[in-house]
């Protein structure tokens, strides 16, 4: 008859058949909610550049995390905004730092029912806005920064963090943190390495929310060149060799090729961060009537999963979990 033997449409005919034949699946448990905790707040304050997101107080963070637990989200990723910043970012590793306080509050209230991930970097805590200790010429001192990251990681683990997520893109950061954690007795604390974090304009709303834009220069000397894919694979392999338990690509939506390459390069759990600029693009395009936000967000997150990510950090996490619970197909 001239017809092909294979008829793919047979498996698309009904919702039940489509569910049965679906190759990749998106669930609430694969989504991670990023949260900003601001020292000294008594109540949450909306973030103008990120609609629907807020600077949290400790109490409001607990309420937000209660919601994430109820929605079945995979966990929360914590960023801190200290009341005072200094040259070395000492608020990042202070025992009574804002993130350390938040971790203790979450652990006391939720026990092990919520995975708590602590971002390990200095940019939110330094008065110059860079991710590490600066030399007199303005360059970031890689090795001096590693010592501060190690102190930060140990303080976060001592507060009760399940996972430490070093995001500064310093050479050797995973090895330094793993050694410090092990020597301090935190051998069960995992590391989620920001292995492929690119220097991108898409961090703009985050830098506004975290008040961490560099006062001078930029971060292109330590974050990755957006043109490089093979280098991302090398970075991830180095982090795996240094003891990472999970690796990450950031941003996600505009770097799906890198997500796919890393999926082929490692069997470790792979995270992708759908960053603030990607969140803002989806939100504002939907607000302008370009498309339905729910449909666009779920398609986007599904695409990141299809590329190979096991977990997705996204500011749409709570909304997406609610939408997924409503889907019948």
pLDDT in the model for residue 248 = 98
Other beta carbons less than 10 A from residue 82's beta carbon? 22
Q: How far apart are CA 316 and CA 323, in angstroms?
A: 10
The answer to whether 328 is a known catalytic residue is no
pLDDT in the model for residue 211 = 86
21 in a structural domain: no
268 in a structural domain: yes
pLDDT in the model for residue 138 = 85
- How many structural domains comprise the chain? 1
Residue 194: give its domain's CATH number: 3.20.20.70
Other beta carbons less than 10 A from residue 5's beta carbon? 4
C-alpha distance from residue 328 to each of 16, 39, 78, 324 (Å): 10, 42, 32, 9
Nearest CA-CA partner of 270 in 302, 312, 235, 310: 310
Alpha carbon 57 to its chain centroid, in Å, reads: 20
Q: How far apart are CA 145 and CA 128, in angstroms?
A: 14
pLDDT in the model for residue 209 = 86
Which residue range is the domain that position 30 belongs to?
A: 26-326
Render pLDDT for 98-134 as a digit per residue (tens, 0 to 9).
999 999 999 999 999 999 999 999 999 999 989 998 8
8 in a structural domain: no
Tokens 């009537």 found at: 289
14 in a structural domain: no
| Verdict on whether the full-model pTM lies above 0.85 | yes
Instruction: List the Cα angle 16/252/152 in 5-degree steps.
Output: 120
pLDDT in the model for residue 92 = 97
104 in a structural domain: yes
List 178, 250, 261, 305, catalytic entry: 250
9 in a structural domain: no
pLDDT in the model for residue 7 = 80
Give the chain's mean pLDDT.
95
Sequence-distant (6+) residues with CB within 8 A of 180 are: 150, 151, 153, 154
Say if residues 154 and 181 touch (Cβ distance below 8 Å).
Answer: yes
The answer to whether 250 is a known catalytic residue is yes
List 33, 85, 151, 197, catalytic entry: 197
> What residues of the chain score a pLDDT lower than 70?
1-5, 328-329
pLDDT in the model for residue 309 = 98
171 in a structural domain: yes
């Amino acid at each position: 008859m001239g017809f092909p033997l294979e008829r793919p449409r047979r498996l698309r005919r009904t919702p039940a058949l489509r569910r049965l034949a679906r190759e990749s699946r998106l669930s609430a448990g694969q989504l991670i909610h990023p949260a900003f905790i601001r020292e000294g707040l008594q109540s949450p304050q909306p973030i103008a550049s990120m609609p629907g997101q807020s600077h949290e107080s400790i109490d409001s963070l607990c309420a937000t995390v209660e919601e994430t637990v109820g929605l079945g989200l995979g966990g929360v990723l914590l960023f801190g905004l200290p009341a005072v910043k200094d040259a070395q970012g000492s608020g990042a590793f202070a025992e009574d730092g804002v993130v350390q306080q938040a971790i203790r509050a979450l652990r006391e209230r939720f026990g092990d029912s919520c995975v708590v991930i602590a971002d390990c970097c200095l940019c939110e805590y330094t008065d110059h806005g860079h991710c590490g200790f600066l030399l007199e010429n303005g360059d970031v001192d890689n090795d001096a920064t590693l010592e501060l990251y190690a102190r930060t990681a140990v303080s976060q683990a001592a507060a009760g963090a399940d996972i430490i997520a070093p995001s500064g893109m310093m050479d050797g950061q995973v090895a330094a943190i793993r050694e410090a954690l092990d020597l301090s007795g935190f051998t069960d604390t995992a590391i989620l390495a920001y292995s492929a974090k690119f220097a991108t304009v898409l961090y703009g709303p985050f830098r506004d929310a975290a008040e961490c834009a560099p006062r001078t220069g930029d971060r292109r000397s330590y974050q990755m060149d957006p043109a490089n894919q093979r280098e991302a694979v090398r970075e991830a392999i180095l982090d795996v060799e240094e003891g990472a338990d999970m690796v990450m690509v950031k941003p996600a939506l505009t770097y799906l090729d890198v997500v796919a390459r890393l999926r082929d390069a490692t069997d470790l759990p792979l995270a992708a961060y759908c960053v603030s600029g990607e969140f803002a693009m989806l939100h504002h395009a939907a607000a302008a009537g370009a498309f339905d936000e729910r449909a666009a967000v779920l398609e986007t997150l599904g695409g990141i999963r299809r590329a190979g990510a096991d977990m997705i950090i996204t500011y749409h996490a709570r909304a997406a979990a609610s939408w997924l619970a409503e889907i019948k197909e």
